[in-house]
Amino acid sequence: MMLTVSEACERNKEPILAVLRTELAACTRVLEVGSGTGQHAVHFTAAMPQLLWQPSELPENLPSLAERIRVEGGANLLPAVALDVRTGPWPAAPVHAVFSANTLHIMGWDAVCEFFRGAAAVLAPPGVLCVYGPFRFDGRHTSDSNAAFDHYLRQRDPQSGVRDFEALDRLAQERGLRFTATHTMPVNNRTLVWRLA
Ligand SMILES: C[S@@+](CC[C@H](N)C(=O)[O-])C[C@H]1O[C@@H](n2cnc3c(N)ncnc32)[C@H](O)[C@@H]1O
């Protein structure tokens, strides 16, 4: 099977790693939601051997992810498992951290709600939730290109779209998570961090 390559992952994996080195400093077990091609999982686990990383994907996207993990994964990268955030209970619990990149603007709002419910349910202290992607703040996009991307997403799938930070934070608070950091990332993205209260 040919391994698929995401150019975006190649560009953003180093900046995200720099954030995770700090935010996951007290963590060992990490669950990644929507691992995609697996490039992030391979890169992060090679750079942070102290982590035990559980990649996951929707059942229909699992085969290509599983293949990259099998071919390129090291000892601290577990075989990929199926996870649709809408279907509980989530695998791999308990974990010290949940990480997800570029997923909340793809899944529908119902699934976003389930994402926060599921993440809070699998987290154990120190309990860190890191989410990377484009977000709106105070009702505004962080760039014209993100506004155009949002328009494109919503035309393609009305359930999808760039999420409002404030709406995500309400979901997080309802699940006992406290917002602790926003990291400004290249090309107008952010890494948002919540922790168990
Ligand atoms: C744009 S891709 C991002 C993949 C990868 N994290 C990255 O940064 O390249 C969005 C991912 O979200 C996943 N996804 C969408 N809906 C999901 C759901 N309900 N549960 C879990 N993953 C979901 C898709 O399968 C897809 O791999």
Second-level CATH architecture of 7-196: 3-Layer(aba) Sandwich (3.40)
Q: Output the CA 85–ligand 1 centroid distance in Å.
A: 10
pLDDT tens digits, residue range 104-125? 999 999 999 999 999 999 999 9
Classify residue 97 as left (phi > 0), alpha (psi -120 to 50) or beta. beta
Between the CA of 41 and the centroid of ligand 1 the distance, in Å, is 13
Six token digits for residue 51: 């982590």
- Digit-coded pLDDT (tens) for 142-196: 999 999 999 999 999 999 999 999 999 999 999 999 999 999 999 999 999 999 9
Look at residues 136, 149, 141, 95 and name the one whose alpha carbon lies nearest to residue 119: 95
Residue 126 Cα to ligand 1 middle (Å): 25
Report the C-alpha gap between 24 and 96 in whole angstroms: 8
Which residue owns the Cα nearest ligand 1 atom 1? 102
Q: Looking at the whole model, is its pTM more than 0.95?
A: yes
SS (H, E, C) 76-132: CECCCEECCCCCCCCCCCCEEEEEEECCCCCCCHHHHHHHHHHHHHHEEEEEEEEEE
Nearest-CA residue for atom 5 of ligand 1 = 36
Q: Which atom of ligand 1 is nearest to the CA of 86?
A: 19
Question: Ligand 1 — pocket residues by CB below 6 A?
Answer: 6, 9, 33-36, 40, 57-58, 61, 83-86, 101-103, 106-107, 111
Q: Which residue CA neighbors atom 4 of ligand 1 most closely?
A: 36
Helices 62-72 & 39-47, crossing angle to 10 degrees?
30
Distance (Å) from CA 104 to ligand 1 centroid = 8
